[in-house]
Amino acid sequence: NYWAGAVGVNEIDLPFVQDSETAYQLYRTGDLDIMGSQQNPVPSARVPEVSSSPDFHNVASFA
């Protein structure tokens, strides 16, 4: 909320996972909070499975 007080963040972890399937497995087990960026796209073989999930949100990426 814009009108709420200041938010403090102690730490941000940004893991770089080169293999998309590995990133997908980490996401499924809860060890990765977000995936699908240009660096870690959803593996093409997993798109039907992922797109039917209520957790799936397709958003535009930065240019």
Residues 6+ apart with CB under 8 A from 35: 23, 24, 26, 27, 42
Residues 6+ apart with CB under 8 A from 46: 21, 24
pLDDT digits (tens, 9 = 90+) for 20-45: 899 889 988 999 888 876 667 888 89
Decide if pLDDT at 63 tops 70: no
Quote the pTM value: 0.66
Domain boundaries, the chain: 15-63
